[in-house]
């Protein structure tokens, strides 16, 4: 598990990421790419 801590002013943010298998990592990346592509297409169509 990877963890990162950020200090922003008087606030501390601590983030811990789960351990992922390579298959799960690839599945998540593929899903993120789909969301980005769909958002980009939606924004392009709105500008018409």
What average pLDDT does range 1-7 have in this prediction?
A: 90
SS (H, E, C) the chain: CEEEEEEECCEEEEEEECCCCHHHHHHHHHHHHHHHHHHHHHHHHHCC
Would you say residue 1 has pLDDT above 80?
Answer: no
In this prediction, what percent of the chain has a pLDDT beyond 90? Answer: 85
This prediction has a pTM of: 0.60
Domain edges within the chain: 20-48
Instruction: Calculate the average pLDDT of the chain.
Output: 93
């Amino acid at each position: 598990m990877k963890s990162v801590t950020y200090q922003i002013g008087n606030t501390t943010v601590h983030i811990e990421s789960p351990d992922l298998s390579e298959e799960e990592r690839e599945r998540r990346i593929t899903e993120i790419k789909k969301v980005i592509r769909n958002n980009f297409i939606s924004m392009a169509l709105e500008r018409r």
